[in-house]
RNA sequence: GCCCCCGUAGCUCAGCUGGAUAGAGCGACGGACUUCUAAUCCGUUGGUCGCAGGUUCGAGUCCUGCCGGGGGCGCCA
């Protein structure tokens, strides 16, 4: 019996009581009932507070309602006992072995286990990183790469249709400054004070000149543009390569310039115009975002005729909606939180309900410690530690996992020594090790000629307490995926895997899986092997949701 | 001044969208390898959940106010 089956059984029991007139309820029956794993094992395998929740709507007080439900549930196959405790909790204990069938179900489902339909039919755009193509990706971008990609995977697993999108800020005067910086470096002149610094500028200059030996001969105006464009392509390509190395792939690289070239900015403004939220004042074009709670109105076109960054963002949003996305998720750094209010107001000006169509996740700062001291500077970038350096220092798996295991709204500190250490205090190794151990058992079973076959295995043999704990842990994966997706909190997957790794290791400690010495393989061995295979599937799928390898050996 | 985030064990942090006696890892101390990976497991130690009110059967979780830390508030991008 799984949690959802148990939930159904509770609803069924409730319905029976109501139909029989034993219980009166105002309002409808709940569609589902929350069953949770109690912290304290003396509270049974599962507990539900349904009687407390329905107390106000029922003619019975919670303890009496709970007692009636307990009696009704006691006859359900697989349930050993139901106790009423405290103010009206139902503590449910399964028959030993009644959960074993789940192991076979998981093995049969394989990579599909954990997937669900919670977000089925939702078209979601997840935009993250969206860096300027004027330099290497750094620490903050790296957090978004790990979290954005994991979030996308989790939402896909929950049934959503997800597009991962990177908005390339390739327009505006920072691009000109970038081009001028590279050009200056190529000419052997110092980079302008307000330009881009760092060794990478000189590297780019060398590459640009190598690719286009004639470039220095061009007249100044053309030369600056040529440097800007060449360096832009090189830098963008480098970002793409580094993200590829980091296993973060985007479906769409969306150029800000493209918005202009394709007339999407004018189109976006037209849409807003029709909605009646634009006005002109002091020679500028404004959006009246204060209509929807922003603290001030925002300029779209300046007095000098130039369109603002906000105009691009507006057009971009309109374009996303016209491409059919129900939900547009933005992952932004804490330094951009001031932007949230105007984004939401803008969506409202475009005729949407921002609560439905636009979500912003704000990520707090990341610090990195090495040898007990904060690492800030990157030689190459001139400013912050880069993605490339982090991958070299920490490795893709440990880096992705560590960045994804914290809620985004808490600041986090990466301790290089800790997360590269192969020991118990390093969660990524702890979890990967569990998978490697499982794979090892399955390998050994193969050598012994014992197959983890799901047909004909006897689930009721999995009656050891540690087996029950492990099965209940495995049963959680679909709920964890659903909650992570709905709450946009992929870190829950990591925390779940850590907890489940502990549960597995305790099972391993107590339950011998394979025959020893000359022992013949028994049905218990075979049943445990199915459980091991199921556990391996859970780790493989869970790590997959985080984009972290599930190693066969360590 | 206004807005956002954070405050939980000595340290780093969880806390399942309001549940029962608040958890994990590290640290410290003590145990477990002739057997499937000891990168593991078991035990002990450790808390006025920043403070004060409120909501209710029940609050670390929700509301209000305060204290402390971080960040943000351009016709910049």
CATH of the domain at A12: 3.30.1360.70
The band of A522, judged by pLDDT with boundaries at 50, 70 and 90, is very high
Between residue 503 and residue 542 of chain A, the positions with Cβ below 7 Å from nucleic chain B are 505-506, 508-509, 511-514, 516
**Residues A196/A136, Cβ–Cβ less than 8 Å:** no
> Is residue A13 in some structural domain?
yes
- Rounded CA separation A331/A408 (Å): 9
Rounded to two decimals, the ipTM of the complex is 0.94
CB A525 within 8 A of CB A450: yes
- Give the H or E element holding residue A348: helix A340-349
The CA–C1' separation of A93 and B58, in angstroms, is 24
Q: Is residue A338 predicted with pLDDT exceeding 90?
A: no
Residue A382 lies in a domain: no
Which residue's CA is nearest to the C1' of nucleotide B21?
A40
A28: pLDDT strictly greater than 70: yes
Predicted confidence (pLDDT) at residue A389 exceeds the cutoff of 70: yes
The angle at the Cα of A214, spanning A210 to A220, to the nearest 5 degrees, equals: 115
pLDDT of residue A373 exceeding 80, the answer is: no
What does the pLDDT look like over A264-276, one tens digit per residue?
999 999 999 999 9
Question: What pLDDT is recorded for position A147?
Answer: 95
pLDDT above 80 (res A380): no
Distance CA A490, CA A325 (A): 21
Nearest nucleotide, CA A507 to C1'? B41
How many Å apart are A38 CA and B19 C1'? Answer: 10
User: Does residue A424 have a pLDDT over 80?
Assistant: no
Evaluate if residue A379 carries a pLDDT over 70: no
Confidence label for A164 from pLDDT (cuts 50, 70 and 90)? very high
CA of A235 to C1' of B5 (A): 33
Tokens of A234: 């090189």
Confirm whether A38 is domain-assigned.
yes
Final residue belonging to a domain, choices A74, A94, A114: A94
Q: For A147-167, what is the mean pLDDT?
A: 96
Short-list A258, A75, A299, A294, CA closest to A165: A258
The domain that holds A467 is classified in CATH as 1.10.730.10
Instruction: Mark which of A59, A94, A129 sits at the end of a domain.
Output: A94
Domain with A467, as residue range(s), is: 423-545
State which residues between 30 and 69 of chain A bring their CB within 7 Å of strand B: 34, 36-40, 42-44, 47, 49, 52-53, 55
Residue A368 has pLDDT above 70, yes or no: yes
Kindly report the bases of strand B lying within 7 A of a protein C-beta atom: 2-7, 12-17, 19-27, 35-42, 57, 70-73, 75-77
B27: residue with closest CA to C1': A425
| pLDDT > 70? residue A511 | yes
**What pLDDT does A376 receive?**
73
DSSP E strands, A278-437: 278-281, 284-287, 298-301, 327-333, 358-363, 366-370, 373-374, 412-415
Which of A70, A94, A118 is the last residue before a domain boundary? Answer: A94
Q: How many Å from the CA of A210 to C1' of B77?
A: 30
Decide if A337 is inside a domain. Answer: no
Integer distance in angstroms from CA A445 to C1' B8? 45
pLDDT at A182: 96
Specify if A147 maps to a domain. no
Please check whether residue A436 lies inside any domain of the structure: yes
| For residue A22, pLDDT beyond 70 | yes
Give chain A residues 361-400 with Cβ within 7 A of strand B.
362, 364-365
Residues 449-488 of A with CB under 7 A from strand B: 479, 483, 486-487
Q: How far apart are CA A107 and CA A528, in angstroms?
A: 12
| Spatial distance from the CA of A269 to the C1' of B38 (Å) | 65
Residues A108-125 have a mean pLDDT of 96
Residue A23 lies in a domain: yes
* A193 Cβ contacts chain B strand, under 7 Å: no
Residue with more model confidence, A436 or A173 = A436
Residue A79 lies in a domain: yes
pTM (2 decimals)? 0.95
Of A168 and A410, the one with more pLDDT:
A168
The answer to which of A54-63, A123-132, A421-430 has the lowest mean pLDDT is: A421-430
Tell me how many domains chain A contains. 2
Instruction: Please work out, in degrees rounded to the nearest 5, the angle formed at the alpha carbon of residue A311 by the alpha carbons of A307 and A316.
Output: 135
- Across chain A, mean pLDDT equals 92
């Amino acid at each position: 019996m799984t949690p959802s089956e148990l939930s159904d059984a509770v609803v069924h029991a409730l319905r029976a009581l109501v139909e029989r007139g034993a219980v009166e309820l105002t309002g409808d029956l709940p569609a589902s009932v929350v069953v949770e794993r109690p912290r304290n094992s003396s509270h049974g395998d599962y507990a539900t507070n349904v009687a407390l929740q329905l107390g106000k709507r029922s003619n019975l007080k919670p303890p009496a309602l709970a007692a009636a439900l307990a009696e009704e549930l006691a006859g359900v196959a697989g349930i050993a006992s139901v106790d009423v405790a405290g103010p009206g909790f139902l503590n449910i204990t399964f028959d030993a072995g009644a959960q074993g069938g789940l192991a076979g179900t998981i093995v049969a489902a394989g990579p599909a286990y954990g997937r669900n339909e919670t977000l089925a039919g939702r078209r979601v755009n997840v935009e993250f990183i969206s860096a300027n193509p004027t330099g290497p990706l750094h620490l903050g971008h790296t957090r978004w790469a790990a979290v954005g990609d994991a979030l996308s995977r989790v939402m896909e697993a929950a049934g959503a249709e997800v597009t991962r999108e990177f908005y390339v800020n390739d327009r505006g005067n920072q691009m000109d400054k970038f081009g001028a910086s590279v050009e200056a470096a190529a000419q052997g002149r110092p980079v302008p004070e307000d330009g881009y610094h760092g060794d990478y500028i000189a590297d780019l200059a060398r590459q640009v000149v190598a690719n286009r030996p004639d470039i220095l001969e061009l007249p100044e105006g053309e030369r600056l543009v040529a440097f800007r464009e060449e360096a832009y392509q090189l830098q963008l390509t480098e970002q793409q390569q580094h993200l590829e190395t980091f296993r973060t792939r985007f479906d769409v690289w969306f150029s800000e310039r493209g918005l202009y070239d394709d007339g999407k900015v004018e189109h976006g403004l037209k849409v807003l115009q029709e909605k009646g939220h634009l006005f002109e004042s002091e020679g500028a074009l404004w959006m009246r975002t204060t209509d929807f709670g922003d603290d001030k109105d925002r300029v779209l076109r300046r007095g000098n005729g130039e369109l603002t960054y906000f105009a691009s963002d507006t057009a971009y949003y309109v374009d996303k909606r016209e491409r059919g996305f129900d939900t547009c998720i933005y992952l932004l750094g804490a330094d951009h939180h001031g932007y949230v209010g105007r984004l939401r107001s803008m969506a409202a000006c475009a005729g949407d309900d921002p609560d439905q169509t636009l979500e912003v996740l704000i990520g707090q700062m990341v610090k990195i410690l090495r040898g007990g001291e904060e690492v800030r500077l990157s030689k190459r970038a001139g400013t912050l530690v880069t993605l490339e350096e982090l991958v070299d220092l920490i490795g893709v798996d440990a880096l992705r996992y560590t960045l994804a295991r914290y809620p985004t709204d808490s600041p986090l500190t990466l301790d290089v020594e800790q997360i590269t250490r192969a020991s118990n205090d390093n969660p990524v190794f702890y979890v990967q090790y569990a998978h490697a151990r499982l794979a090892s058992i399955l390998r050994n079973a193969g050598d012994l000629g014992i197959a983890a076959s799901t047909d004909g295995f006897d689930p009721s043999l999995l009656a050891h307490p540690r087996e029950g704990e492990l099965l209940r842990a495995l049963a959680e994966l679909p709920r964890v995926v659903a909650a992570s997706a709905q709450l946009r909190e992929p870190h829950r997957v990591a925390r779940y895997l850590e907890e489940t790794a502990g549960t597995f290791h305790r099972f391993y400690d107590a339950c011998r899986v394979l025959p020893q010495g000359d022992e013949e393989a028994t049905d218990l061995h075979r049943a445990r092997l199915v459980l091991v295979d199921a556990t391996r599937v859970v780790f493989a799928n869970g790590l997959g949701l985080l984009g972290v390898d599930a190693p066969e050996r360590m």
